Amino acid sequence: MSHIEQTGDRFIPSRQGMEINVSQYLLTKENVEPQSGLLAETIFGSEQGKILSFKSKAPAPRESSAQHRVLYSANSAAAEKSKATRFISQKAERVLDAPGIVDDYYLNLIDWSSTNYVALALQSTVYLWNGATGATTELMSFDEKTVCSVNWHADGKYIGVGLCDGTTQLWDAETQKALRNLKGHSARVGALSWANSTLTTGSKDSTIINHDVRIAESMTSRLTAHSQEVCGLKWNADGTQLASGANDNVVNVWDANTIAPKFSFTEHTASVKALAWAPFQKDLLATGGGSSDRSIKFWNTTTGALLNTIDAQSQVSSLVWSKDSGCKEIFSSHGFSQNQVCVWQYPTLAKTAELRGHSSRILGMAQSPCGSVIASAGADESLRFWKVSDNTPAKTVSKKVEASGVSAVRHIR
């Protein structure tokens, strides 16, 4: 029984023996999971070695009274006119194995190209999954280097790859050849973002480097406003503003060709990795905080105003705005404690849907070129595809999809 101290009419338990400092450390470190997930061998059994292979079926959603109900959302203006309803299934359309994915919040390991290829980094190897055919190819593999980030150029032909040794490589995905080796960082490169011919890299050394890949001496500027690891980078659509987030809990917004931030937002209380620019308003930025913050904030980057905040109740690992011009929505992926994908309406911030299935935190998320599918990569070593709209042109996703929404069982490497 703990010793009890009496002070007046208050009874205060002694804190001797309570590891308060350790508890605080665990709560503020994004890579510490208070609840560990299932072991890989338990999840995947004999299929653990298959890279990006289809699992037999998507797992059923959590038991509840509304287990078989389908959530829906509708654009309010369109609903008043047409009464049409858009349905979002709570089951993953397809599930692929992703054994060996690095369970590290600060890395950016997945991206989806404009030419319909998903790039996924699994330890020292980058795999490309063809969204049209379902075929998987190995783009590159290193003997003793971990891949920390991947990011496609807008043309879908070139891809930047950040490595643990501080270098960034530029690859031609069509020929599967390395084109350039970009240096300048002294620690791992966990964040990348393209703006035309500029590849911007963020590192654990707390700096950001802009590389013009057209010239021999590629480094055009080094940005040094952050004090800890840079884990989020995102250029807006026209390349006029860059947003950066870091483990110092700060979001910086930079105008192009400047070396000092235009704004430094300090309202988050944990690491900021999730960044997303709205496609319908170039100065609208969404940011998401880590496990001791758990909020999504919306900013006007012309005025610096904080427009609104969502209490997401979970670590925010990535944010993606919908490409569907018929509705203004933003998707968020989460770690501890919910491990789900959420769909939010904007500007009402009403939650439209929760998509569950991952048994451990979601590390990152990417959107298909047409915007109809979201892919989430989890620490449970699975890659899950969620159908979020019907805006799907022909030959955009894998062909043989069963009526149930779960793709046919195939094993691909």
Q: Is residue 195 part of a domain?
A: yes
Neighbours of 259 (CB within 10 A): 12
Q: CATH number of the domain at 363, please.
A: 2.130.10.10
**Amino acid type, 151:** N
Q: Is residue 77 part of a domain?
A: no
Q: Is residue 357 part of a domain?
A: yes
Q: Is residue 22 part of a domain?
A: no
What distance in Å separates the CA atoms of residue 77 and residue 75, rounded to the nearest whole number? 6
Number of domains the chain contains: 1
Helix (H, G, I), strand (E, B) or coil at 24: helix
Nearest to 232 by CA among 381, 105, 376, 127: 105
Q: Is residue 6 part of a domain?
A: no
What distance in Å separates the CA atoms of residue 170 and residue 161, rounded to the nearest whole number? 6
What distance in Å separates the CA atoms of residue 332 and residue 193, rounded to the nearest whole number? 19
Q: What is the pLDDT of residue 298?
A: 98
- Residue 248, CB-side half-sphere exposure with 13 Å CA sphere: 20
Q: Which tokens is 221 given?
A: 């500027």
Q: Which residues contact 244 (CB under 8 A, 6 or more apart)?
A: 191, 202, 208, 223, 225, 226, 230, 232, 233, 251, 252, 254, 275
Neighbours of 79 (CB within 10 A): 13
Average pLDDT per 10 consecutive residues for the chain, totaling 413 residues: 46 48 56 50 40 55 39 37 61 95 98 98 98 96 95 98 98 96 98 98 98 96 98 97 98 97 98 97 97 97 98 97 90 95 97 96 97 97 94 44 31 30
What distance in Å separates the CA atoms of residue 368 and residue 119, rounded to the nearest whole number? 12
- 173: domain range? 95-387
Q: Is residue 106 part of a domain?
A: yes
Beta bridge partners of 109: none
Q: Is residue 394 part of a domain?
A: no
- Residue 267, CB-side half-sphere exposure with 13 Å CA sphere: 18
Q: Is residue 90 part of a domain?
A: no
Nearest to 301 by CA among 321, 319, 271, 276: 276
